[in-house]
Amino acid sequence: MSALAAAVADERANECSVPNTPGWRPGARWARGCADAVEAEIARLPAHQRPPMRELGRRSEAADHPFRALRPDEARGHVPFSLKDQPPAPPRRETMRAANPAPANPPVVTSLREGAKVVVHAACPAARALGLKRGLALTAARAMVPGLIVHPADPAADAAGLRRLAVALARKWSPAVAVGGEDLIFLDLTGVSHLFGGEAAMAARIVAVLGRAGHGARIAVAGTPGAAAALVRHGAPPGEPSFAAPRPRHAGMRQARQSNLADAPDFRIRHPRDDGNPYAPRRARQQEAAAATPDRVLLCPPGEDADWLAPLPAAALRLDSADVEMLRRFGIERIGQLAELPRGPLARRFARALERLDQALGRVAEPLDPVIPRTAIACRQGFLEPIATAEGIAHWLGELVPRLTAELAAAGLGARAIELVAERVDHVPQRLRIGLARASRDPAHILRLIARRIEEVEPGYGIDAMTLHVRRAEPLGPMPFDERLDAEAAPDLAPLIDAIANRIGMARLWRVRAVESDVPERSAAPAPPLAPDAAPPSRLAADDVRRLGDADHIPAWHPEWPRPARLLKRPERLDHVVAELPDRPPARFTWRGVSHRVVRADGPERIHGEWWRRLGEAHAVRDYFRVEDEDGRRYWLYRRGDGMRSVSGDLSWWLHGLFG
């Protein structure tokens, strides 16, 4: 018996996909679980490795109609039949963070319009693994990879992000950092790398730091910017077998650089002349880190630039495509071939290529245009003897403010916020902050604003030093002045607004702008006090049909409908109202305990709720009346509801405003 059970267990262990029972037929119920497993296995494959439909054979269920589920504008996000069981897309940030994303990550690309067609601008690693690359038509990419996630590319934001990164690098790693292209940053390592434990350790640390910040990066260190730029794109150390074509791993990395979804730059680093290293133990540790990211860092030993560059393709010299094509026609594909040719005949036709070659080999200088991190502007004045009087503070403010404005003028900036920090003997800093409505560097104006509030400074036992910090600044070029002496210039309100705002605060100073709304509370909204008076001119053509929608000649407030001079902050309930339904004004009402008899009235003016703002107002109605009592006092009342439908309001009466 046990032998029989063992045989059964044995049979079950290596169960065949087709059971050895009679009556086998395709699609039978017992075969479905097996089919599910096969489908799951297929779904696990990348899209381009899946067997085509004809190999799968007939399926038991009907496929979706390929167009039924598409959204009217585009097919993003939905896949007709095959990828339904993919996990939902993780947040974009996560996608970018993943250095080697799991195959479960859905492919993401960004798209850019080039002329008449939309092409892939950048692709994430998952998308590159599926064969998507830069320059591919987006329609082709969508056909290749169903369920492709497409975001619009923003090259300007990418450039700005790269520049921010360069500034951050310049603050931390090297004083000379230059942006070299849309995905390229140069760092001058001269005299710097020993501070970080040598070139290899420094490069590894930069890669690691950028990796934590969500950027993938490659680094090549060479003697010149040109050589570093060539190596970081196409480079591999000599002696590798496959120079003819970049190795696949480098090809992938190159695409990783080109694909910078947000900003995944590469760094070319000029070779330092100084290789002294006082941090030997740290270096060992950091070389381990470098070993952890071997294919992201490429170190070209000094003096071997030419050897390393020789096998690289000519495009590595940062030539444009026309030059590369021309070189290719002459049979020059590698940098080494170009370098071996006699220069005389080449110079006329390939001046640019030779210049790049000379730059890469160090025969011609290639100056970098470094980014300069902005430094905070501040003026400090220390005192030998502590000062404690308002006159002393005012005197030294008169010295400090012109110095500050001179620095602002040199930087081409105007201050929007300035802080005075007075350092007291007992180390309790006294802070005084002023704001300006418009960027300004007028010393008299700034001095007036600060001097007015000197009494807020508590000198205590005395003030050791005073510092003026520019807390916020805006670019401010030279201002034109009105050259016509006989014309009356419009008065400049900015000094007045500064003076008032520094006394009561910007929040309590406002203008009113008209809002297109019939609901009285919403028809006026506060605006900044120095708001530009005129709307920016429309960029539409004169005969554009959208100009018909321009309502600038129609005022937002109707000039004829009566509006009160003062509007109560919230309407006040009226009592003892005697009014006829549905649309008669009240005959008498009581407000704040005083009874009023209405002599004359106008109305109703019906104002409907704005359902597009709040769903609760969908049916709300207010009937406004202007009424005058027997003493001639004129009020603005309204009744909730139209008197016909109870859903429009509860027929209560409210007082909302007062006419004079």
First to last CA, the chain: 109
Q: Exposed, middle or buried by CB within 10 Å (0-12, 13-18, 19+), for 3?
A: exposed
Q: Is residue 62 close enough to count as binding another protein by CB under 8 A?
A: no
CA atoms within 13 A on the CB side of 428: 7
Amino acid letter for position 450: I
- Out of 600, 613, 614, 645, the only residue in the binding site for another protein (CB under 8 A) is 600
- Closer residue to another protein in complex, CB, 275/580: 580
The whole-angstrom separation of Cα 19 and Cα 2 is 23
Least distance to another protein from the beta carbon of 435, Å? 15
Least distance to another protein from the beta carbon of 494, Å? 10
Least distance to another protein from the beta carbon of 480, Å? 17
- Out of 495, 571, 604, 643, the only residue in the binding site for another protein (CB under 8 A) is 495
- Closer residue to another protein in complex, CB, 308/635: 635
Longest dimension (CA), the chain: 122
Least distance to another protein from the beta carbon of 492, Å? 7
Least distance to another protein from the beta carbon of 413, Å? 26
Q: Is residue 489 close enough to count as binding another protein by CB under 8 A?
A: yes
- Out of 208, 346, 567, 587, the only residue in the binding site for another protein (CB under 8 A) is 567
- Out of 244, 322, 485, 545, the only residue in the binding site for another protein (CB under 8 A) is 485
Q: Is residue 562 close enough to count as binding another protein by CB under 8 A?
A: yes
- Out of 282, 563, 606, 619, the only residue in the binding site for another protein (CB under 8 A) is 563
CB-based contact 255:123 (threshold 8 Å): yes
The answer to whether the peptide bond before residue 604 is cis (omega within 30 degrees of 0) is yes
The whole-angstrom separation of Cα 89 and Cα 83 is 12
* C-alpha distances out from residue 381 to 387, 393, 397, 464, Å: 12, 11, 9, 9
Across the beta sheet with 413-424, what order do the strands follow? Answer: 378-387, 463-475, 413-424, 430-440
**Residue with tokens 């092409």, as numbered in its chain:** 119
Looking at 6-14, 15-23, 362-370, 496-504, which segment touches another protein (CB under 8 A)? 496-504
**Number of residues lying near another protein (CB under 8 A):** 53
- Closer residue to another protein in complex, CB, 104/493: 493
Name the token pair of 456: 């807020």
- Closer residue to another protein in complex, CB, 349/522: 522
Exposed e or buried b per residue across 308-330, where buried means at least 16 C-beta atoms within 10 angstroms of its C-beta: bbbbbbbbbbbbeeebbeebeee
Looking at 104-112, 229-237, 402-410, 499-507, which segment touches another protein (CB under 8 A)? 499-507
Radius of gyration of the chain from its Cα atoms, rounded to whole angstroms: 38
- Closer residue to another protein in complex, CB, 495/586: 495
DSSP β-ladder status, 575-579 and 149-152: unpaired
Amino acid letter for position 326: M
Q: Is residue 456 close enough to count as binding another protein by CB under 8 A?
A: no
**Residue with tokens 């919230």, as numbered in its chain:** 570
Which of 175, 195, 197 shows the shortest CA–CA distance to 186?
175
Least distance to another protein from the beta carbon of 502, Å? 10
Q: Is residue 514 close enough to count as binding another protein by CB under 8 A?
A: yes
Name the token pair of 430: 């006294």
**Residue with tokens 């760092």, as numbered in its chain:** 187
- Closer residue to another protein in complex, CB, 240/521: 521
Q: Binders of another protein among 639-658, rule CB under 8 A?
A: 657-658
Which of 604, 602, 611 shows the shortest CA–CA distance to 647?
611
Least distance to another protein from the beta carbon of 592, Å? 9
- Out of 263, 627, 649, 653, the only residue in the binding site for another protein (CB under 8 A) is 627
Least distance to another protein from the beta carbon of 364, Å? 57
Looking at 92-100, 336-344, 363-371, 485-493, which segment touches another protein (CB under 8 A)? 485-493
Name the token pair of 267: 């760094």
- Closer residue to another protein in complex, CB, 484/546: 484
Q: Is residue 554 close enough to count as binding another protein by CB under 8 A?
A: no
Name the token pair of 363: 């025969």
Q: Where are the beta strands (DSSP E) in 171-295?
A: 177-181, 184-188, 219-222, 266-270
Q: Is residue 601 close enough to count as binding another protein by CB under 8 A?
A: yes
Q: Binders of another protein among 530-549, rule CB under 8 A?
A: 533
- Out of 65, 84, 113, 513, the only residue in the binding site for another protein (CB under 8 A) is 513
Binding residues for another protein, rule: CB under 8 A, are 485-486, 488-489, 491-493, 495-497, 499-500, 503-504, 508-514, 520, 523-524, 529, 533, 557, 559, 562-569, 599-602, 626-628, 630-635, 657-660
